[in-house]
Structure 1
Amino acid sequence: MANPVTQDHRQPAATGTAPVAHRRRFEIRSLGEVGALVVLVVVFGALNPSTFLSVGNLQKVLDQAATPLIVGVGATLVILMGCIDLSVEGVMGAAGMTFILTTLHLRGGVESPTDLGFLSFVLAVLVGAALGAVNGLIHTRLKVPSFIVTLGVWFVGLGIGIILFGTSAQPNLSDAAAQWPTRNLLGLPHSFWLAVVVAVLGVVVTRYTKLGRFAYAIGNNEDIARSNGIPVRRIKLYVFVLAGAFSGLAGILAILQLGQGTPSVGASGAAGSSTLFLTIAAVVIGGTSLAGGRGGILRTVLGVFLLTILNNGLLLAGVDPGYRSGVSGLVLILAIVAAAWPLRSRLRIVK
């Protein structure tokens, strides 16, 4: 029996290549986001040509976009299934605190005796994956809406991060570790290269693996996907685990960018906005449908850069932080209305 496919992800099972007409539709739909990105660059470049268009500011924008890009890959996979993951900031806090407490750090001016090296990185990602598994198991086994489950796990992860933080002085990374994200490789910051690797992995998963194709099918119509033999519960669990792992990795990067450990590391991203807000907004603005089954990783990449450049340009223009938040919120509302209105009959809060 052939695998079910969606209107935005039609791939012949034998060749794995999309029809030419489909590729053209994808390109046409992407022109709006690309055009908006170009307009932002032109406008802010004209307002602040000496600062906005500088190499230093470009590197700063890429560094700021790295964390939401990594989170956005996992969030996109979840939303493609018609679900949502609100646990991002809690998972980042738990994984970030796990990382900094198991690697070389200073606390109260005293160097920590614990240094697991690369294992601290692996352990932190596993913490994120474990919290993602909790999301997936409760959602699929107990049939609790993903909105409720992930909201609860958000606070569970935050609680874990607070317990790990304890009452001692704030842990600080060594200068070498704290400088790693902004060091350049081929002119681009390390943090951005890490995000590129994750984004490429996300594209490979969505386009060339059963996990990605089944995620599209589940989002398009879960009942039909199940009747065609797709193991819906298992696929959902795998996607939530993968999203949790990416959020854990983002927590590590956010700790490295901040240079110190805090359970609320995801509450204020490098771009000045909540990581959860920036990520969900980027996914929606990029064109991934909240109803599931339509969209993709590259669209999320566009959305992340749109919001990151918007925040960066408004900051350089001297706009008050309150107004910047208002503008970002307005952009998100307009994007959600535009994306969800044609599909309003498919949107269900129980998903």
Structure 2
Amino acid sequence: MVNHLLSRESKGPTGLILAVVALMVVFSFLNPRFASVENLQNVLFQSSVPLIIVVGATLVILMGSIDLSVQGVMGAAGMAWILITPNTRTGLDYGVWAWVIALGTGVALGLFAGLIYERLKVPSFVATLGTWYVGLGIGIMLYGNGLLPSLTNEALARWPTRLTLGIPNSFWLAGAVVVVGLVIMNYTRFGRGLLAIGNNEAIARSSGISVSRYKIMALAIAGGLSALAGILATMQLGSGSSDIGSTQLFTVIPAAVIGGTALSGGEGGVLRSSLGVFLLVILNNGLVLAGVDPDYQQGVFGLILILAIVTVAWPHRNRLKVAK
């Protein structure tokens, strides 16, 4: 059964790949600038943060749960990181420990959500929604009323956009996270366990899988990846902001669904969710270059998003249930 579940990761991405290619062709026809090297690099850059988040979100969704804490975790971790990295407010420089502390903040918030979810049997959307506000509160307190903290280390500020082999560094980081996510899902007991839990939790328990531990671990990993995304987004912005992740959740969850990762769990995978991210980023980028009036962009984006979900996710409609 486990091998059957695992094989689902590689099934079904062809339609999504064709949809991504079709969008690229259409937008290239509407505006040749879309296919320029500079714009394609920009697409990769724009994809970096949501790609990191979607890996953690997918691990949680695959077990039939959902993580809504992204914005709060990103805000708390991003603010924690910039205040102990060379900045205009504190002047502190903790070096690598700034990363450890910021990532640890995300993991701690994820563990907090996981313990509430599993130990107190609170639904995941409630536990993670509460964690969202806890993280947001931490970020706001760290932001304070003082001088806006901005990066003073030029190397850090420019690192995300700097090109390595023609590709932005931020995308190399995101790509590494996606590869690790694929390894976890395809070659570890933990990844197979998440699929088994999402497919049938009772059978997973009877098979000897420590369901409680896996659920808490998945949310902790998701918290750590949201924290990493918060750090990267802060570097891209060049300054601290408690609402650094304000729009990310509404990209990541639809991307996972478009990719065929079922909200009911047990179906989908990191690769498919990542392709969903590319589709949405290309769609948004293409609408801008196509000259769609900003007043109408959100409406057009929403209509095309619905069409994409219906087209790509329709074969999986029986599994797209409300998350546990």
Q: TM-score of the superposition, structure 1-length normalised?
A: 0.87
Q: Is the 8 A contact 1:181 1:191 kept in 2?
A: yes
Superposed CA offset, 1:144-170 (max 9, x none): 110111111111100000000111021
Q: Does 1:39 align with 2:34?
A: no
* Aligned-partner residue type, residue 347 of structure 1: K
Superposed CA offset, 1:295-329 (max 9, x none): 11110111111000100010111213343222333
- Report the counterpart of residue 74 of structure 1 in structure 2: 56
Cα deviation for residue 337 of structure 1 reads 5.5
Cα deviation for residue 229 of structure 1 reads 1.3
Of stretches 239-248 and 322-331 in structure 1, the one that deviates more from structure 2 is: 322-331
SS in structure 2 opposite 1:288?
coil
Q: Does 1:317 align with 2:259?
A: no
**In structure 1, how many angstroms separate the alpha carbons of the residues matched to 2:27 and 2:319?**
38
- Report the counterpart of residue 238 of structure 2 in structure 1: 259
Q: Is the 8 A contact 1:77 1:243 kept in 2?
A: yes
Q: Is the 8 A contact 1:6 1:220 kept in 2?
A: no
Superposed CA offset, 1:21-60 (max 9, x none): x79xx45x212101111111101111111x2111111111
User: Over aligned residue pairs, what C-alpha RMSD do you find?
Assistant: 1.8
Q: Does 1:138 align with 2:116?
A: yes
- Report the counterpart of residue 6 of structure 2 in structure 1: 9
- Report the counterpart of residue 103 of structure 2 in structure 1: 125
Q: Is the 8 A contact 1:7 1:294 kept in 2?
A: no
Among 250, 255, 258, the residue aligned to 1:285? 258
**In structure 1, how many angstroms separate the alpha carbons of the residues matched to 2:317 and 2:29?**
38
- Report the counterpart of residue 209 of structure 2 in structure 1: 230
* Aligned-partner residue type, residue 43 of structure 1: V
Superposed CA offset, 1:249-289 (max 9, x none): 0000000011110000011xxxxxx1000111111111111
**In structure 2, how many angstroms separate the alpha carbons of the residues matched to 1:294 and 1:64?**
27
Of stretches 316-325 and 127-136 in structure 1, the one that deviates more from structure 2 is: 316-325
Corresponding residue pairs, total: 322
- Report the counterpart of residue 147 of structure 1 in structure 2: 125
How do residues 63-212 of structure 1 correspond to structure 2 at under 5 angstroms? Answer: 63-107=45-89, 112-174=90-152, 175-212=154-191
Q: Does 1:61 align with 2:36?
A: no
* Aligned-partner residue type, residue 161 of structure 2: T
CA gap of 1:219–1:335, structure 2 versus 1, over 3 A, is farther
**In structure 2, how many angstroms separate the alpha carbons of the residues matched to 1:234 and 1:203?**
20
CA gap of 1:81–1:54, structure 2 versus 1, over 3 A, is same
**In structure 1, how many angstroms separate the alpha carbons of the residues matched to 2:319 and 2:218?**
25
**In structure 2, how many angstroms separate the alpha carbons of the residues matched to 1:342 and 1:113?**
52
- Report the counterpart of residue 31 of structure 2 in structure 1: 48
**In structure 1, how many angstroms separate the alpha carbons of the residues matched to 2:322 and 2:203?**
16
* Aligned-partner residue type, residue 37 of structure 1: V
**In structure 2, how many angstroms separate the alpha carbons of the residues matched to 1:7 and 1:39?**
31
- Report the counterpart of residue 15 of structure 1 in structure 2: none
Q: TM-score of the superposition, structure 2-length normalised?
A: 0.94
**In structure 2, how many angstroms separate the alpha carbons of the residues matched to 1:342 and 1:88?**
26
**In structure 1, how many angstroms separate the alpha carbons of the residues matched to 2:310 and 2:125?**
19
**In structure 2, how many angstroms separate the alpha carbons of the residues matched to 1:44 and 1:62?**
16
Q: Is the 8 A contact 2:56 2:222 kept in 1?
A: yes
Q: Is the 8 A contact 2:74 2:244 kept in 1?
A: yes
Cα deviation for residue 340 of structure 1 reads 7.0
